[in-house]
Structure 1
Amino acid sequence: MNVMINGEAHDMPPGATVAYAVQALTSATSGIAVAVNDEVVRRSAWDTTPLSERDRVEVLTAVQGG
């Protein structure tokens, strides 16, 4: 299944979830926000939110600085 993550195509296995996509993209465990097709997905729903063909996923990581 082809999914766009942060503007780049990624091949995901059938049944992949938001949590799977996040783990494929980053090893960070905090400071992450995710939206699928412009809808924010709560962290508590990452494991149970399936991805579909051609979904657009945005994974944002908070950066500290000044």
Structure 2
Amino acid sequence: MTIFLNNQAKELSEPSSVSAVLQLLHLEQQRGIAVAINDQVVPRSNWDSYLLQPNDRLTLIRATQGG
């Protein structure tokens, strides 16, 4: 199954939750991350239950400090 992670094609062997993808990227415990699927923000509380579908566009945004 192909998804697009920040506009880069990524192959997943099976349907995965947002949390599972973040675990693959070693980002599951990091703070300051926002996730949008197909331009809709997915709250952190839904990451475990939200299953990605083929061709979903997953956008990861990291908050940065500064001005």
Q: TM-score, normalised by structure 1?
A: 0.87
- Runs (4+) of structure 1 exceeding 4 A deviation are none
CA distance in 1, matches of 2:11, 2:57: 12
Match of 1:45 in 2: 46
Structure 1: segments with no counterpart, 5+ residues: none
What code does the residue aligned with 1:45 have? N
**Structure 1 residue 47: Cα displacement:** 0.5
**Structure 1 residue 34: Cα displacement:** 0.2
Give the superposed CA RMSD. 1.4
- Paired residues, what number? 66
What code does the residue aligned with 1:2 have? T
Cα 1:45–1:19 shift into 2, 3 Å = same
**Structure 1 residue 29: Cα displacement:** 1.5
Identity of aligned residues (%): 39
